[in-house]
């Protein structure tokens, strides 16, 4: 790169307030270039010059041929990146000799020019890490042939805002493309010392090739509008993005609903389906009256109650819970925030909670920023005010608790009217069941509203969470919530409380395809530090055995293994006085191989205790139904927990948020040889949706989203161990973020007005029509 950006002094002059991190060195042609970034709060400044030989040494990858340098026709040199589908997380890292010092920056963004050479869209991640190991991640979907500038705010109000939104609007007018915030690790990153920047892909199914140039930091432009004000209209739609599904009136909404109702009434569904959605044209196996699993001709299958082969595919989270958004209003009367210890429904799974007129008299604005996001909210005497609710606690964002509103429910009332109390909800349930059959789905996934359990039209998976006042363990990864101490007898009591409620709701129905309990528990990372991998165990060891059932269990295990404290000290290279001292708090700075092996063994112990309790309780209350495992996140599925789960689960379950099932990454299923279901996956986009977040896996637009859905499902269908995959979720999240944690992604088959996305629905119909004939054959 030979371009010198504006106001940029390239060598060691103190003018313009430049902060020099390293001496300037001549390149091969004698021109002065930076060995490291010289940064100015006044300028646009190059961070990496791909023409500079010294800076090329900053770039590395664990894989050969992951990057190269190419010279363009104009003599400018760029870095070419090649990402492989053989690697789950394929990364090219830039690590300057000394960290980039950005402490003088207060209102800037990091930008780079990029070309997507692939024939399909590419989801590119950019990860930053500071000298203390804190990091943060962003991503973007680059369409095929993209050639432009990508950026993300790094300082300034937009970079660190606490607005309760995962995805935010672009804060200024620009033709450049803004990356979407993904996640952070450890503490919040400090921009004083940026030690590393990564370009990466995750879980791709095809090779991707990019060219990148002009990695720079630049001043943010002036804001010309109120960034976060008046974001949504009275239908909960984005006021700044009138997409093809945007509605302008109640009449238009009813007209769209009437047209869909007529189409659904004429639909005959898929012709190859049995009563329970199995493969009517396939073999008929033993019928037990309930769903079960069997391996047939080298492939695992579910088998429906009548004995037909069954592949489970459909949407998860078909419910009204967690579909409200915070209004910025709260109440001083704290009676609305009472949480009882015997509850079995976690806060984010609560439905509409009514607030009394008496409590509303203590109303006040708790977050002006949130309250200004809405063009309209109904007065309390408005008929649509029945869609107000309340969150007693939230996971993140500026509102710890407060009033919420459901635009989705309000739109259902507008669509179908209210002939009797909540008749529009009953109509929504009917329409949803008709859609499932018309679209070719065979089942509901996890978190379907229990109101669907008696439907006897579409099979479902029942679910529950084990919550309560048991002891907990803190994982070593900040973003995860505390883990229950499964050795605490209170946990077993709460498991019975939860599963007995599930059993009462299911009523032994053969339409219940299986049971999910809990979701994405904080078992530990697959890679990283000892604490990242075994944080729940190191936390247990830091406790006093008198107060921690897990610590007591682990102490007994280690006593049995080592007998004497001297033997343990020799293995762990520690100096613990005696077993009494060990039973007290023990913290460690370093770990021997034997110590790590013991942590691994104790993690398996913890997992086995969990599965033993859950499986045993399910066997007591729901003996005829499949236990579908622990819905492990694909980034948090330690082999110790998989090993423990195999002993007690009828099927395994993983949430796989990637482009699809990478054959190499999931080859371990061959050794385990159990049926496996994908509990969650999705693809979203910010194009033509009005949402500011595309979800975890990005597409470029709705057409690309449909293509990626079919590609994902094909990878599932081709794998002999997967017996199903559930899309998360049925409807889009609110533009202003769901109340519990601010998620606001385009991940639905339907939008906030309950209008289906035609491209995605057409793709589902096309794919579902061939599920059985392709997986089994005629």
pLDDT at residue 389 greater than cutoff 60: yes
| pLDDT at 1 exceeding the cut of 50 | no
**125-139, 485-499, 600-614, range with the lowest pLDDT:** 125-139
Q: What are the distances in angstroms from CA 646 to CA 115, 484, 496, 618, 629?
A: 45, 20, 22, 16, 8
Q: How high is the pLDDT of residue 566?
A: 98
**Residue 778 confidence class, pLDDT cut points 50, 70, 90:** low
Q: Is residue 518 scored above 80 in pLDDT?
A: yes
Q: What is the pLDDT of residues 332-363, one digit of tens each?
A: 999 999 998 889 898 989 889 999 999 999 99
Q: Across residues 195-210, what is the average pLDDT?
A: 97
CA 560/CA 554 separation, integer angstroms: 10
Residue 121 to residue 161: CA distance in whole angstroms: 29
Specify the residue for token string 């050794």. 671
Tell me what pLDDT residue 22 has.
Answer: 29
pLDDT at 443: 98
Same domain, 39 and 168: yes
User: Is the bond leading into 295 cis (omega within 30 degrees of zero)?
Assistant: no
Query: pLDDT band for position 37 (50/70/90)?
Result: very low
From 191, 219, 247, give the residue that closes a domain.
219
What does the pLDDT look like over 419-466, one tens digit per residue?
A: 999 999 999 999 999 999 999 999 999 999 999 999 999 999 999 999
**What was the pLDDT predicted at 189?**
78
Same domain for 185 and 60, yes or no, is yes
- Asked, for residue 162, whether it belongs to a domain, the answer is yes
Average pLDDT for 235-248: 94
Beta-ladder partners of 91: 200
Band of residue 476 on the pLDDT scale cut at 50, 70, 90: confident
How much is the pLDDT for 544? Answer: 97
* Shared domain check, 175 and 57: yes
Contacting residues for 744 by C-beta, under 8 A, at least 6 apart: 165, 166, 167, 691, 692, 693, 733, 734, 735, 736, 737, 738
Last residue of a domain, one of 185, 219, 253: 219
- What is the average pLDDT across 527-550? 95
3-state secondary structure 186-241: CCCCCCCCEEEEEEEEECCCCCEEEEEEEEEEEECCCCCCCCCCCCECCCCCECCC
Phi, psi of 439 (to 5 degrees): -80, -10
Q: Which residues of 530-568 are buried (b: 16+ CB within 10 A; e: fewer)?
A: bbbbbbbbbbbbbbebeebbbbbbbbeebeeebeebeeb
Give the alpha-carbon dihedral of 361, 366, 368, 369, to 10 degrees.
Answer: -140
CB 745 within 8 A of CB 733: yes
On whether both 57 and 180 belong to a single domain, the answer is: yes
pLDDT at 605 over 80: yes
Tokens of 181: 């915030």
Specify if 49 maps to a domain. Answer: yes
Q: Give the pair of three-digit tokens for residue 166.
A: 């995962």
Instruction: Give tens-digit pLDDT for 731-776.
Output: 999 999 999 999 999 999 999 999 999 999 999 999 999 999 999 9
pLDDT, one tens digit per residue, over 259-292 is 999 999 999 999 999 999 999 999 999 999 999 9
pLDDT at residue 160 greater than cutoff 80? no
Same domain for 212 and 334, yes or no, is: no
pLDDT at 42 (0 to 100): 52
Assigned domain for 601 exists: no
CATH number of the domain residue 134 falls in: 2.60.120.430
pLDDT of residue 185: 66
pLDDT above 90 (res 303):
yes
Residue 475 lies in a domain: no
Give me the number of domains the chain comprises.
2
Per the CB < 8 A criterion, the answer to whether 76 and 52 are in contact is: no
Q: Is the same domain home to 182 and 36?
A: yes
The pLDDT score that the predictor gives to residue 287 is 98
Is pLDDT of 19 > 80? no
**Does residue 530 have a pLDDT over 90?**
yes
Phi, psi of 299 (to 5 degrees): -125, 140
Pairwise CA distance, residues 280 & 266, whole Å: 22
Q: Is 664 a residue whose pLDDT tops 50?
A: yes
Asked if residue 359 is part of any domain, the answer here is yes
Asked if residue 667 lies in contact with residue 630, where contact means CB atoms within 8 angstroms, the answer is: no
573 belongs to a structural domain: no
Q: Has residue 686 been placed in a domain?
A: no
Tokens 């925030």 belong to which residue? 337
Terminal-to-terminal C-alpha distance of the chain: 59
More confident residue, 38 or 721: 721
Query: Do both 209 and 331 map to the same domain?
Result: no
- Looking at the predicted structure, is the pLDDT value of residue 9 above 50? no
**Token pair 């099927």: residue:** 651
User: What's the pLDDT score for residue 184?
Assistant: 67
| Structure tokens given for 499 | 């599963």
Question: Is residue 639 situated within a structural domain?
Answer: no
Structure tokens at 519: 């979701």
Which one of 368, 389, 405 terminates a domain?
405
How does the average pLDDT of the chain come out, rounded? Answer: 91
Going by pLDDT thresholds of 50, 70 and 90, the confidence category of residue 187 is low
* pLDDT tens by residue, 89-142: 999 999 999 999 888 888 899 999 999 999 999 999 999 999 988 889 999 999
Q: How confident is the model at residue 155 (pLDDT cuts 50, 70, 90)?
A: confident
Return the bridge partners of 652, or none: 676
Task: Round to whole Å and give the CA distance between 77 and 288.
Answer: 67
Instruction: Please give the residue range of the domain that contains residue 396.
Output: 325-405
If asked whether residues 61 and 208 sit together in one domain, one would say yes
The pTM is what?
Answer: 0.93
Mean pLDDT value of segment 646-655: 97
């Amino acid at each position: 790169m030979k371009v010198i950006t504006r106001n940029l002094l390239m060598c060691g002059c103190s003018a313009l307030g430049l902060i020099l991190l390293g001496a300037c060195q001549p390149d091969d042609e004698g021109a002065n270039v930076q060995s490291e970034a010289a940064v100015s709060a006044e300028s646009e400044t190059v961070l990496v010059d791909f023409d500079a030989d010294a800076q090329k040494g900053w770039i590395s990858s664990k894989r050969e041929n992951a990057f190269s340098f190419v010279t363009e026709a104009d003599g400018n040199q760029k870095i070419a990146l090649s990402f492989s589908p053989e690697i789950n997380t394929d990364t090219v890292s830039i690590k300057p000799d000394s960290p980039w010092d950005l402490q003088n920056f207060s209102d800037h963004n990091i930008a780079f020019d990029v070309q997507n050479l692939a024939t399909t869209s590419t989801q590119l991640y950019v990860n930053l890490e500071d000298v203390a190991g804190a990091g943060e991640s962003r991503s973007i979907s680059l369409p095929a042939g993209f050639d432009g500038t990508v950026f993300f705010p790094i300082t300034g109000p937009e970079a660190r805002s606490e607005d309760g939104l995962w995805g935010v609007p672009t804060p200024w007018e620009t033709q450049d493309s803004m990356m979407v915030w993904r996640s952070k690790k450890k503490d919040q990153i400090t921009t004083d010392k940026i030690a590393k920047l990564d370009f990466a892909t995750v879980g791709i199914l095809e090779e991707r090739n990019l060219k990148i140039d002009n990695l720079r930091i630049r001043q943010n432009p002036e804001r010309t509008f109120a960034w976060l004000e008046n974001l949504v209209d009275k239908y909960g739609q984005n006021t700044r993005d009138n997409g093809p599904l945007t509605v302008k009136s109640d009449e238009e909404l009813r007209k769209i609903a009437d047209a869909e109702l007529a189409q659904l009434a004429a639909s005959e569904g898929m012709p190859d389906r049995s009563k329970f959605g199995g493969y009517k044209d396939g073999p008929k196996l033993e019928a037990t009256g309930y769903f079960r699993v069997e391996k047939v001709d080298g492939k695992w299958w579910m088998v429906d109650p009548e004995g037909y082969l069954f592949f489970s595919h459909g949407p998860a989270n078909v419910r009204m819970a967690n579909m409200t958004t915070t209004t910025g209003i709260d109440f001083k009367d704290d009676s609305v925030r009472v949480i009882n210890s015997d509850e079995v429904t976690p806060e984010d799974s609560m439905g509409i909670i009514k607030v009394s007129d008496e409590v509303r008299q203590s109303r006040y604005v708790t977050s002006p920023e949130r309250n200004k996001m809405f063009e309209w909210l109904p007065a309390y005497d408005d008929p649509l005010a029945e869609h107000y609710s309340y969150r007693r606690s939230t996971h993140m964002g500026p509102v710890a608790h407060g009033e919420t509103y459901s635009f989705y429910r309000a739109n259902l009332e507008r669509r179908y009217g209210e002939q009797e109390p909540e008749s529009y909800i009953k109509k929504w349930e009917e329409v949803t069941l008709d859609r499932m059959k018309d679209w070719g789905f065979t089942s509901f996934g996890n978190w379907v509203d229990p109101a669907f359990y008696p439907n006897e039209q579409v099979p479902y998976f029942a679910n529950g969470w084990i919550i309560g006042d048991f002891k907990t363990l803190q994982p070593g990864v900040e973003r995860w919530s505390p883990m229950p101490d499964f050795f605490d007898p209170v946990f077993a009591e709460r498991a019975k409380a939860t599963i007995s409620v599930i059993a009462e709701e299911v009523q032994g129905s053969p339409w219940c395809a299986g049971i999910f309990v809990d979701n994405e528990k904080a078992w530990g990372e697959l890679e990283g530090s000892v604490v990242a991998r075994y944080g729940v165990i190191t936390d247990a060891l830091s406790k006093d055995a008198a107060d921690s059932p897990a610590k007591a269990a682990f102490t007994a295990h280690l006593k049995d293994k080592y007998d004497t404290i001297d033997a343990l000290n020799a293995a762990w290279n520690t100096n613990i006085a005696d077993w009494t001292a060990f039973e007290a708090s023990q913290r460690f700075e370093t770990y021997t191989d034997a110590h790590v092996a013991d942590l691994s063994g104790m993690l398996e112990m913890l997992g086995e205790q969990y599965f033993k309790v859950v499986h045993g309780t399910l066997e007591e209350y729901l003996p005829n139904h499949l236990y579908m495992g622990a819905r492990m996140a694909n980034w948090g599925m330690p082999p110790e927990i998989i090993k423990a789960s195999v002993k007690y689960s009828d099927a395994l379950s993983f949430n796989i948020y990637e482009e699809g099932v990478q054959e190499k990454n999931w080859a371990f299923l061959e050794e385990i040889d159990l049926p496996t279901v994908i509990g969650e996956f999705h693809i979203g986009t910010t194009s033509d949706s009005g949402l500011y977040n595309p979800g975890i896996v990005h597409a470029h637009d709705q057409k690309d989203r449909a293509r990626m859905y079919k590609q994902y499902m094909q990878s599932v269908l081709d794998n002999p161990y997967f017996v199903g995959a559930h899309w998360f979720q049925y409807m889009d999240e609110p533009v202003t973020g769901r109340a519990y944690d601010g998620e606001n992604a385009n991940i639905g088959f339907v939008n906030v007005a309950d209008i289906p996305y035609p491209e995605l629905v057409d793709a589902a119909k096309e794919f579902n029509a061939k599920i059985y004939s392709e997986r089994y054959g005629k």
